[in-house]
Structure 1
Amino acid sequence: MILVTGGTGLIGSHLLFQLAKSGNTIRAIYRSEKSLKKVTKVFGYYTENPTQLLERISWVQGDITDIASMEAAFDGAHYVYHCAALISFDPRQLDDLIKTNTEGTANIVNLCVAHQVKKLCYVSSIAAIGKATKGKISTENNEWTDTNVSVYGLTKHDAELEVWRGSLEGLPVVVVNPGVVFGPGFWRSGSGSFFTYANKGKKSFLPGGTGFVSVNDVTKAMITLMESDIDRERFILVSENLSYGEVLKRIAKKLKVQEPIKQAPFWALELFWRWDGFRSKVLGKRRRLTKNMVKGFRQQETYSSEKIRTMLDFEFDNLQDILTFCCEKFKN
């Protein structure tokens, strides 16, 4: 029995599709009936009969922050993919991020140990990878520091510590650290906002850049690692390191809209994060830009996936293929 948390998210829903297609016995966690519609939508991007595959999934309503609600889901589970997380870079949501990402992961680890799960795969993030010095490439061995790190990155790092704690208690584990994950179906949040923004034909783009990867590469790596004998290892999953401008230009070209031509000036970003902070305090609105985010825009972050390429002879898909696929689904 395979158990998946966060099955209604971008990575989780694509993982469920791959597992169901392979005929596995699957159980997945969901929080609300509304969220299940997202999974049906994602399955429909890849098959004309999503219902047939969805019937292979046994759904259990639960919340990773409530360990009692998760007990039944772990009954008979042999392998666990922990994809559930809260993604936010708003400092005002730090308590919620800690509760979901760090404490929620601690709950999953404790349940895995208690139920003698054979292996756990945890979906972390490149936000939990230590920053490389300017001009250097980030690897899994970078030293972690709390300097200029987002609140999201802090909680994902602490969540990884919970996973390593579980490994010391005898739980076999693997951790993946994906870059920005591109996949269809979630157009109003995360990487989906790249398509929404580009479709508006905006002229400007943010400075800096980071690592990007296809959602199908992420799920393929996760499944391969879980089926291997590899234990107590973490892997960066990045197929290309690109500037935000280059990504938006590629998307705009495929959407056949005006490509962005102008990088947003730093003086404007410095003013905006201050105004955004004031707006958040006065009106209680969610932060869209923070001081740390602007600092991150001042350099191109570069990540190496050499470790997984070498250990698994892993080959990443062409990133342009997933961008093209996403653009087609976005237009539809």
Structure 2
Amino acid sequence: MILVTGGTGLIGSHLLFHLISNGNRVRSNYRTLESIEKVRKVFGYYTDNPSALIEQIDWVKADITDIGELDSLFDGVEQVYHCAALISFDPKDFKTLERTNVEGTANVVNLSLKNGIKKLCYVSSIAAIGPSTQGKEVTEENEWNQAKASVYGITKYDAELEVWRGSQEGLPIVIVNPGVVIGPGFWKSGSGTFFTYASKEKKYYIPGGTGFVTIKDVILAMIALMESNIKTERFILVNQNMTYKKLFQKIAPKLNVSPPTKVVSKFMIDFFWRWDWVRSNVLGKRRKLSKAVAKGLYHQERYSSDKIKSELGFSFGDMDESIAFCCSKFIEEM
């Protein structure tokens, strides 16, 4: 039996589809029945009968922050893919992020140790990798710099520490640090917002750039690592380093719209995060752009995936193909 936490998210739902399609016995937690319907939608991108596969999953209602609810998830489990996480860049959400991402991961690690799990794969993020120095590509060895990290990045890094602690106590682990994951199904969050934004034929794009990876590559890399003898290692998963301008230039034509052509100036970014702070602290609105995130928009960070290529012989797929597929599904739904 394979356990997938966070199976109702972007990575988790695609992982579930791949595992079930290949004949594995799989269990996953969920919080609401509505979230399972999102998984059914994702499955529908790849099969004409998604319900048949959904029914093969052993669904258990459980929150990773509740150790009592989690305990039953581990009965008969041999492998764990820990994909569950909360994503937010609002500093006001730090305590909630800490509880879900750090304490929740500690719960998964502790129960994995208790139940003699053979191997755990933790899905972290490039947000938990230290920044580049002297313009060099970021690698797994970069020194962590909390002062330059978002609240999300801080909690993902602290969650990694819980996973490393588990490895020191005898739990075989691997960690993956994906870039921005390009995949269909969640158009109002994460990378899905790029497709939504582009579809509205907006005029402005943000400066800078980051590392991107397809959902297919993330899933294949995770499974290959779990089936290998590799353990106690972390791997950056980035297919292409791109500017946001370049990303929109790839997305827009496939949505039959024009890409944004005007860059948001540094002055406007500085003004907006300050105004956003005022809105949040005076009017009680949710933060849309924190100072840490704003500073990260000024330049393009570049990431190296040489480690997984050399140690696993992994080859990344076609980014343009994945973007085209996402665009086709977006058009069908919208």
Q: The TM-score by the shorter chain falls in which range?
A: over 0.9
2:163 aligned residue: 163
Structure 2 gap ranges (5+):
none
Task: Letter of the 1:328 partner, please give it.
Answer: S
Q: Secondary structure at the match of 1:136?
A: coil
Matches of 2:134 and 2:207 in 1, distance apart?
16
* Greater Cα offset, 280-289 or 9-18: 280-289
Please show how residues 127-206 of structure 1 align to structure 2 within 5 Å: 127-206=127-206
Matches of 2:179 and 2:155 in 1, distance apart?
16
1:331 aligned residue: 331
Please show how residues 117-128 of structure 1 align to structure 2 within 5 Å: 117-128=117-128
1:230 aligned residue: 230
Task: Letter of the 1:133 partner, please give it.
Answer: T
Please show how residues 182-331 of structure 1 align to structure 2 within 5 Å: 182-331=182-331
Matches of 2:97 and 2:81 in 1, distance apart?
19
Matches of 1:279 and 1:189 in 2, distance apart?
21
User: How much has 1:293 moved relative to structure 2?
Assistant: 1.4
C-alpha offsets along residues 42-73 of structure 1, whole Å, 9 cap, x if unaligned? 00000111122112210000000000001111
User: How much has 1:29 moved relative to structure 2?
Assistant: 0.7
Matches of 2:123 and 2:207 in 1, distance apart?
27
User: How much has 1:87 moved relative to structure 2?
Assistant: 0.4
Q: Secondary structure at the match of 2:146?
A: coil
1:72 aligned residue: 72
Task: Letter of the 2:139 partner, please give it.
Answer: T
Matches of 1:194 and 1:146 in 2, distance apart?
27
CA RMSD of aligned residues (A): 0.7
1:94 aligned residue: 94
Matches of 2:148 and 2:141 in 1, distance apart?
18
Matches of 1:282 and 1:320 in 2, distance apart?
43
C-alpha offsets along residues 218-248 of structure 1, whole Å, 9 cap, x if unaligned? 0100111101111100000000000011101
Task: Letter of the 1:240 partner, please give it.
Answer: Q
Q: Secondary structure at the match of 1:216?
A: helix
User: How much has 1:283 moved relative to structure 2?
Assistant: 2.5
Matches of 2:282 and 2:198 in 1, distance apart?
30
Structure 1 gap ranges (5+):
none
Matches of 1:134 and 1:191 in 2, distance apart?
28
* Greater Cα offset, 286-295 or 102-111: 286-295
Matches of 1:283 and 1:132 in 2, distance apart?
36
C-alpha offsets along residues 191-220 of structure 1, whole Å, 9 cap, x if unaligned? 000000000101110000000000110010
Task: Letter of the 1:174 partner, please give it.
Answer: V
Matches of 1:71 and 1:283 in 2, distance apart?
41
Q: Secondary structure at the match of 1:138?
A: coil
Task: Letter of the 1:20 partner, please give it.
Answer: I
1:41 aligned residue: 41
C-alpha offsets along residues 10-53 of structure 1, whole Å, 9 cap, x if unaligned? 00000000000000000001011110000000000001111221
Matches of 2:270 and 2:163 in 1, distance apart?
37
Task: Letter of the 1:12 partner, please give it.
Answer: G
* Greater Cα offset, 36-45 or 49-58: 49-58
C-alpha offsets along residues 101-121 of structure 1, whole Å, 9 cap, x if unaligned? 011000000000001100000
Task: Letter of the 1:215 partner, please give it.
Answer: I
1:85 aligned residue: 85
C-alpha offsets along residues 53-104 of structure 1, whole Å, 9 cap, x if unaligned? 1122100000000000011111111100000000011100000000000110
Matches of 1:105 and 1:79 in 2, distance apart?
15
User: How much has 1:282 moved relative to structure 2?
Assistant: 2.2
What's the TM-score, normalizing by structure 2? 0.98
User: How much has 1:297 moved relative to structure 2?
Assistant: 1.2
Matches of 1:81 and 1:222 in 2, distance apart?
8
Matches of 1:227 and 1:252 in 2, distance apart?
38
Identical residues among aligned pairs (%): 60
Task: Letter of the 2:284 partner, please give it.
Answer: G
Task: Letter of the 1:161 partner, please give it.
Answer: L
User: How much has 1:132 moved relative to structure 2?
Assistant: 1.1
What's the TM-score, normalizing by structure 1? 0.99
Task: Letter of the 1:19 partner, please give it.
Answer: L
Task: Letter of the 1:331 partner, please give it.
Answer: I
Runs of 4+ in 1 over 2 A off after TM superposition: none
Equivalences, count: 332
Task: Letter of the 1:152 partner, please give it.
Answer: Y
